[in-house]
Amino acid sequence: MPTPVCSKCRRTLSPDDINVANDVAYCRECNLTYRLSELAEDNEITATLDLQHPPAGAWFTSDGGGAVIGATNRSLGTAAGLLFFALFWNGIVSVFVCLALSGTLHVLNVPLPEWFPAPKMNDAEMSAGMVIFLWLFLTPFITVGVTVAASCLNCLFGRTEVRVSGTQGSVFTGIGPLGWRRHFDASQVKSVQLDETRSSKGQRTDYILMQLRVGKQIKFGSQLSGERRQFFLGAMRRALLR
């Protein structure tokens, strides 16, 4: 196995600081300890990374103002599955939402359109209390429907993007200007690696884990394809662990 290189300072580690049996490698310059297997994987990814030729759907730009690493979240297969579920789920929920709207307009003495369902429950007109109860009952079902629809749109038009300018960094996941942005201190990044979680049913989710020296962790990239995630990982290590 080639002598591993520190992900932070890019110095070749001394054989005296490598313990193959315990899967440990130590960089004296940075005072950092690595798992040897992960460091070997890091070196391989970094060695084969070509920032000028990213995989389809990924990009990397760097200038005097900083670096931008990004990739689309597009996955047509996942989007198709989410679309089917969203149409099925929201189609059923919409019937009860129309009933709740009908009851709300009736309580507010607002004339109802002819095509609206009658504001009745068990053949009796809905009271204000029943309308409030119905909205409270429907809230979690509406939330699930909106979340699935948003996930479907994210699989079609969403992106994951990391911006680094000096010590200022941010991770963005969303569509256009709408999404979730998390800020971090680029000078405090300790490591960037691939990680995974498994559900109670054994379903695996891969993502990128960025660890800061202050103990904070930022997880992202679970929507990316495997190839884009690998490029993202290598590009971030180039941009942050220098």
Tell if the pTM clears 0.85, that is, is over it: no
Closest to 160 in 3D by CA, of 111, 96, 233? 233
Range of the domain at 221: 54-73+160-240
Which residue among 129, 156, 183 closes a domain? 156
Residues 166 and 219 in one domain: yes
Other residues' Cβ atoms within 10 Å of the Cβ of residue 136: 10
pLDDT digits over 140-199, tens only? Answer: 999 999 999 999 999 999 999 999 988 899 999 999 989 999 999 988 888 888 888 887
- Spatial separation of the C-alpha atoms in residues 100 and 91, rounded to whole Å: 15
Confidence at residue 148, expressed as pLDDT on a 0 to 100 scale? 95
The answer to whether the beta carbons of residues 86 and 145 sit under 8 Å apart is: yes
Which residue among 133, 156, 179 closes a domain? 156
Task: Give the residue-averaged pLDDT of 83-101.
Answer: 93
Average pLDDT, the chain: 84
Q: How far is CA 215 from CA 39, 59, 184, 190, 199, in A?
A: 20, 29, 12, 9, 25
Confidence at residue 44, expressed as pLDDT on a 0 to 100 scale? 62
The number of helices, as runs of H, and strands, as runs of E, in the chain is: 4, 13
Residues 168 and 219 in one domain: yes
pLDDT digits over 119-133, tens only? Answer: 777 777 888 888 899
